[in-house]
Amino acid sequence: MKRIVIADDSGTARMFLRRCMEIAGLVDATIIEAEDGKEALMLVKSEPTDLLITDLNMPVMDGLTLLKWVKASPKLSELKVLIVSSASNPAKEAELLELGACGVVGKPVSPTSIRESIAFLLEEEGAYGRN
């Protein structure tokens, strides 16, 4: 079973991401939610995690700082990090990818955009149901 951590200060956004993954057919995953980057960092340190999906703009610790912490940690540096952002900026996207993000998805997300963004991350047979 895959373990996915979603970090976003908006409960609605976290719920929507979770729902998009369900609609897209993700069936074999445990999804844990965090309200900010600091909480997400504690969660990914506590148990092996397959994917971290994070918003950029959050209180306490933002998504950019979270990405930098994850990629600087010898234990976490291989963790796949997907950034979800409302900022449509090619330069920012290039910076995030250079820092180690595996992808950047623009808001508003959709089941299709989420599936396309995480399908290659969750390649194991059975990770997705048939749609």
41 alpha carbon, distance to own chain's centre: 12
Tens digit of pLDDT for each residue in 39-81?
Answer: 999 999 999 999 999 999 999 999 999 999 999 999 999 999 9
Alpha helices in the chain, H assignment, sequence order: 11-23, 37-46, 63-72, 90-98, 111-118
Domain for residue 130, yes or no? Answer: no
Domain for residue 124, yes or no? Answer: no
* CATH number for 110: 3.40.50.2300
Domain for residue 114, yes or no? Answer: yes
Give this prediction's pTM.
0.89
Domain for residue 93, yes or no? Answer: yes
Domain tally for the chain?
1
Domain for residue 125, yes or no? Answer: no
Q: Name the residue range of residue 77's domain.
A: 2-118
User: For the chain, percent helix, then strand, then coil, each to nearest 5?
Assistant: 40, 20, 40
Q: How many residues does the chain have?
A: 131
Q: Specify the pLDDT at position 28.
A: 80
Between these two residues, 42 and 111, which has the higher pLDDT value?
Answer: 42
Domain for residue 13, yes or no? Answer: yes
Cα–Cα nearest to 108, from 17, 1, 11, 21: 17
Q: Which residues pair with 10 in a beta bridge?
A: none
